[in-house]
Structure 1
Amino acid sequence: MDKVVSTATQAVVGIGNGATIASGGFGICGIPAVLIDAIADAGITGLEIYSNNCGTDGIGLGKLLERKQIRRVVASYVGENKEFARQYLSGELEVELTPQGTLAERLRAAGVGIPAFYTRTGTGTQVATGGLPWRYAQDGSVAVASPPKPVSEFEGRSFLLERALAADFALVRAWKGDRHGNLVFRMAARNFNPVCAMAGRIAVAEVEHLVEPGDLDPDSIHLPGVYIDRVLPLTAAQVADKGIERLTTRPRPSELPGE
């Protein structure tokens, strides 16, 4: 039952070239930064990433992008990463853009054994009819386009079929965790982490505070340990090393005009 590993290198053992990885986080909030760094250092390539977004330039999954370790991304937002846009538009990266709620449900469905589900989201658009550019050719033409999705009617309304999104591995970050893999997330840092963990056949959690079994209030656990296979305790320095995606400030009151 003790799932603790001592190093990030041990935590990512088994992740090889061409693996599919569900990675938690939203922007760079709640990202498994230490595990991502371990993959970057290992030089693993051809990765297919399932994540809300792909980090920012040089941060989180953005590190893997810069090193050309990612082949394909399934995401719902990519606007904060210039290198992502460059690779996509130049035909170096395949991208499947997915509505954010649909992405979350595709991951959750994989974790609970649902192979596919119907949703209203995307009906009447190219999400349903196909033709979205997944990958461009070097001349700017569309090399790979999204296929049409099955559409059915229920009670007079159209719904399209979305498939579950199972991954070989899941990487997540939690505020607290015990040796059995039970996890607690803190505020907005929960975001996509639980559903990513559910989607991974092997799920690895880096935790800021490791506690002993029984120390967590059962009613406070956000994700039970049945979904987690490895737990990596972080050092104090790793816990403190958190980036700010977009620093926004305002002048001090004494510096405001007219004062």
Structure 2
Amino acid sequence: MDPRPGLRLQLLQRHLNGGGGGEAGPLRLAHCRAADNAAVPDTSKVCSAEEAVALIPDGVWLTPAGFVGSSCPELLLNALRQRFEATGSPRNLGVIWAASVGDSKGRGCDQLAAPGLVNRMIYGWSGTAPGFLKMVRENEVEAWNLPLGVVSHVIRDVAAHRPGPVTHVGLHTFVDPREKGGRLNSRTQRDIVHVVKMGSRELLWFEAPQAIGCALLRGTTADLDGNISFEREALYLDQLNQAMAARNSGGVVLVQVERIVDRNTLHPKSVHLPGALVDKVVLAPPELQWQTLREPGNDGSLSGEIRTPLHSIAPLPMDERRIIAHRAFMEIDRPNCLVNLGVGMPEGVAVMVATHSKQNPYAASVTLSTEAGAWGGIPGGGLRFGSSHNPACLTPTASMIDFYNGSGVDLCCLGLAEVDAAGNVNVSNFPGRMPGCGGFIDISQTSKKVCFVGTFASGGLKVAVEGGQLRIRQEGRNRKFTAAVNEKTFAGSTVNGRTVLIITERAVFRLVKPQGGSGPAVELIEVAPGIDIERDVLAHMAFRPLIRSVKPMPAAIFQPC
């Protein structure tokens, strides 16, 4: 006798009865025909996680859902790792994701970071998967780092049986094959990025895998036919394209959800993944279905179920982060400005919008956005990065990247780690650490105005504001303004007449093209009150910037209001 119908019945009954704890479940038993009559032929797609991952063959490309800490298909990832440890199979998988999902402590994508289980990877950003980054450093996998938006479009092109995106994004950066071609170690020899000409335009062709054999996805609710809705998810991400890519490659689409309902009970407009694309559905326990890996449960302000009061957001304390965020906030200089904020230091700009909008007449009409697909609201930080509190709209990542690539962003605020005299910026690769470029290249090359934001130096920097003056109490150990960056995540040669600023707590620079110069140069244009240019700025730079007319940074930045 086939035990699967009975197992599925047990799973459904456990869910409907509130997990066996005596509390009433979220649905009535009568809503599920499988529970009404166990003798009815079983045609549902519900199964155990072990059954689902048993369908994954050796050697295929696998794409998991998730973004930083959101939408992690944790039950399926754990089950796949357990299968590998128990059987040694599947082996030699490739993994492809726009951004890793995890907590940087082993949860999420790092469940797959095992030699033999994975032997190749393509990623946009892997900062929450340090296990994979260790495998890259130790030459245990082939690895390519490509722009996050490019990876999103690669997955879409696999679904459409196209050869891969052709785009201007990435030219003259480390993903250009004339630089590194995105290759991350000596084991990675094959070129998957190629320079092509279309008319007079020079572009990059990013070669897509021929097939994706498995997609590990997650949603909120599934019906017995595998239709999936996302009502409690913080983002849509690329899950529809991932499902289409696996389906059109003859692969398998596995989805974990937190609840299961009967056929024909989901409204068609609420379904994001049609059941025709889904092979198996797995019911996840609450502890493996966190909305974000920051904390258990669901924050309804991220999924649009509720709106959280913005007055609950505390102002930033007066420190270097606030100074930088406040100066960048002032670059919102037009009505209805559409802004993208990067991870880390740029997140402070969102706080300034929420707490200091009265100081900027254009802040009230600003739309903050994320490359993950959130429009409006206040972008989340940390493991919530990519999502947004009180969003106006959520769209798939690939669609947001289309808009970004067409210069839809009026202002972007992105982090910085290294800057050189030619205006090149590195945020993606350092000795012993290579989280990847994420959406940095997609955004910095196409936005109308660019602000790179970060402290002037790192490693022990301590500052204070006294009487409207900035004091450097302890200088940072590590210089950021260096003779040559370790890797070009932004190429100064791609300024193309745009406004590009470098904003620190003590000085502001811009990229210019001097008359008679062969390329862009870094010009010092502002210093903070109380800062000595020679002692506090030039003495800590490996090159001398262009200095013509230096103004003080706006005094309001250094006031406690």
Fold match, TM over 0.5? yes
Question: Residue 95 in 1 paired to residue 139 in 2?
Answer: no
TM-score by length of 2: 0.40
Following the alignment from structure 1 to structure 2, what is the Cα–Cα distance between the partners of residues 95 and 57? 21
Deviations 1:66-108 (A, max 9, x none): 5763221111002233333322112122211111111111111
2:261 to 190, 211, 230: 211
1:48-67 paired onto structure 2 within 5 Å: 48-54=94-100, 55=102, 56-65=104-113
Give the equivalent residue in structure 1 for 2:170: 122
Give the equivalent residue in structure 1 for 2:338: none
Deviations 1:161-198 (A, max 9, x none): 23334311111011122222222224433223222222
Give the C-alpha shift of residue 217 in structure 1: 1.3
Give identity over the alignment, percent.
24
Q: Identify if the C-alpha distance between structure 1 residues 104 and 241 changes in structure 2 by more than 3 Å, giving closer, same or farther.
A: closer
Moved more, 209-218 or 21-30: 209-218
Moved more, 30-39 or 60-69: 60-69
Question: Residue 164 in 1 paired to residue 233 in 2?
Answer: no
Give the equivalent residue in structure 1 for 2:243: 197
Deviations 1:27-76 (A, max 9, x none): 23112111111111011332211112343331112122157632211110
Which structure ranks higher in relative contact order (CA pairs < 8 Å, sequence separation ≥ 6)?
A: 1
Give the equivalent residue in structure 2 for 1:149: 194
1:41 to 82, 87, 91: 82
TM-score by length of 1: 0.81
Secondary structure of the residue aligned to 1:158 is strand
1:234 to 271, 274, 284: 284
Following the alignment from structure 1 to structure 2, what is the Cα–Cα distance between the partners of residues 104 and 192? 7
Contact 2:220/2:233 (CA < 8 Å) preserved in 1? Answer: no
Amino acid at match of 1:119: T
Contact 2:99/2:148 (CA < 8 Å) preserved in 1? Answer: no
Q: Which runs of 5+ in 2 are unaligned?
A: 1-41, 296-312, 319-561
Amino acid at match of 1:220: S
Amino acid at match of 2:142: E
Q: Which runs of 5+ in 1 are unaligned?
A: 137-141, 246-251
1:68-83 paired onto structure 2 within 5 Å: 69-83=117-131
Deviations 1:217-243 (A, max 9, x none): 112222222221111122344435962
Q: Identify if the C-alpha distance between structure 1 residues 234 and 163 changes in structure 2 by more than 3 Å, giving closer, same or farther.
A: same
Contact 2:145/2:182 (CA < 8 Å) preserved in 1? Answer: no
- Rg: which structure is higher? 2
Q: Identify if the C-alpha distance between structure 1 residues 241 and 128 changes in structure 2 by more than 3 Å, giving closer, same or farther.
A: closer
Contact 1:133/1:144 (CA < 8 Å) preserved in 2? Answer: no
